[in-house]
Structure 1
Amino acid sequence: MTGIGRVLVIVYAIMALAATGRSFVQIVQSFDEAPLAYTLSAISAVVYIVATLALVFAGSRGWYLVAWIAIVFELAGVLIVGALSFLLPDLFAHPTVWSWFGLGYLFVPLVLPFFGLWWLITHRPVATGVAPEPATVGA
């Protein structure tokens, strides 16, 4: 992996660390205040960890599929939680990583999955199947 792929993995790793740290602190200190929001922060942390690993190993078809699933889930999460945080602000009085479309993270959670999907589309894994043996001319 080179160039923009490395940058993408680094940004995903930073988001994984940030979301993991945030959710850990939120859950340990005050889970009872906002269990939904803090559970969503923990889910986003898991998604970023899985997406990071999947992008690193996306050269194999299995990890490539995992990367697609993780990044599509991430995009759906940030869009749904982002919209709900505006529509039902009482439900998200305590922010999550994806609240307000990632405002607390400078909208990186909103933009990142689009870059991730673009990278996956433009960097499909190469099939590594065994080439068929040449046909032999009759005996």
Structure 2
Amino acid sequence: MLVVWLYGVMSVGAVSRSAYQIATEFDRAPLPYTLSALAAVVYVFITYTLVRGGETARKAALVCCAAELVGVLAVGTWSLLDPGAFPDSTVWSRYGYGYVFIPVLLPVTGILWLRKAATRPSPA
């Protein structure tokens, strides 16, 4: 339940932050703000699949968590190597530093939890 709750919180945070940044200052940093919007979409989709439940949703969430982890690691590394490309923080820049590193820890936790859920027998 905690993983679902954290994804819900990250969804709200990422959607609001990216919507505000895109609406008010998109010309300042279009790439980072677009990446924040992409992160928001990923968080919303994962939250939806976790709440929906079922094997198909679990598999979709697992794939999205893996993609999320790749995105966090790629954007995090890029933002450290080329800080000029990220004049403002995004959800995934610096591995989620502005979000207490939850963006880099959450997909790992989600993947572990979803894999464990696959090994649990379904109730009869």
Fold in common (TM above 0.5): yes
Aligned residue among 10, 18, 21 for 1:23: 18
Identity over the aligned pairs, expressed in percent? Answer: 42
Q: What is the TM-score of this pair, normalised by structure 1?
A: 0.83
Distance across 1 between alignment mates of 2:71 and 2:49: 18
Other-structure match for 2:117: 123
More helix by share: 2
2:104 paired with 1:107: no
Q: Which string of whole-angstrom CA distances, capped at 9 and with x for unpartnered residues, describes residues 11-36 of structure 1?
A: 00000000000000000001111110
1:69 offset after TM fit, Å?
A: 1.7
Residues matched between the structures, number: 122
Letter in 1 for 2:35: L
1:88 offset after TM fit, Å?
A: 0.7
Distance across 1 between alignment mates of 2:51 and 2:69: 19
Higher relative contact order (CA 8 A, sep 6+): 2
Distance across 2 between alignment mates of 1:114 and 1:123: 14
Q: Which string of whole-angstrom CA distances, capped at 9 and with x for unpartnered residues, describes residues 75-101 of structure 1?
A: 011100000000011111121100000
Letter in 1 for 2:108: F
Other-structure match for 1:47: 42
SS of residue matched to 1:101: helix
Runs of 4+ aligned structure 1 residues displaced above 3 Å come to 125-128
1:127 offset after TM fit, Å?
A: 7.3
Instruction: Flag the structure with larger Rg.
Output: 1
Q: What is the TM-score of this pair, normalised by structure 2?
A: 0.93
Aligned residue among 81, 85, 97 for 1:87: 81
Q: Which string of whole-angstrom CA distances, capped at 9 and with x for unpartnered residues, describes residues 95-125 of structure 1?
A: 1100000000000001111110000110017
Structure 2: any 5+ residue segments left out of the alignment?
Answer: none
Letter in 2 for 1:53: Y
2:86 paired with 1:76: no
Letter in 2 for 1:87: L
Distance across 1 between alignment mates of 2:66 and 2:104: 12
